[in-house]
Amino acid sequence: MGVSISVTVNGKQYQSDVEPRLLLVEYLRETLRFTGTHIGCDTSSCGACTVLIDGKAVKSCTMLAVQADGAKITTIEGLAGNGKLHPLQEGFREEHGLQCGFCTPGMILTAHQLLEENPHPGEPEIRHALEGNFCRCTGYHNIVKAVQYAANKNA
């Protein structure tokens, strides 16, 4: 038996009947087709599934879809606006902050919350904020530079 939920994702409202045990990451990917939200580890360790829920970075594999009822969710697909990349997306491109790209959506959305709370973080603050997001390719140096790029662009 399904449970009716209503969420706003990237500015558009959706109503769905979902199984009570359906994870939010699965709902976003499989039901709504926001495939930029990645499933990486299934244990909330990697951060690839990070989305913004009411402005806060949340690992969507740790939350049931029914728990998001009434929430405003932003996925990586909703960050750019009017055909322009968000400064964080631009920073990842300009500073070579990605290689395979698998971790990138989660990194960007985690960094988004950081910059909302601290528009001009130093390197230690950036590294601390990104601790819950794993990247197997880059070594994090260029990811930090990408966040600094976005912070400087927002100055």
C-alpha separations of 123 from 57, 58, 151 in Å:
19, 22, 11
Pairing of strands 72-74, 3-9: parallel
For residue range 23-42, list pLDDT tens digits in order. Answer: 999 999 999 999 999 998 87
Residues 74 and 14 in one domain: yes
21 has a pLDDT exceeding 80: yes
> Where residue 104 sits, what CATH number does that domain have?
1.10.150.120
* Residue ending a domain, choose from 44, 78, 112: 78
Residue 155's pLDDT band (boundaries 50, 70, 90)? Answer: low
pTM equals 0.93
| Domain span including residue 124 | 87-153
* Residue ending a domain, choose from 56, 78, 100: 78
Residues 6+ apart with CB under 8 A from 61: 23, 24, 25, 39, 41, 42, 43, 44, 49
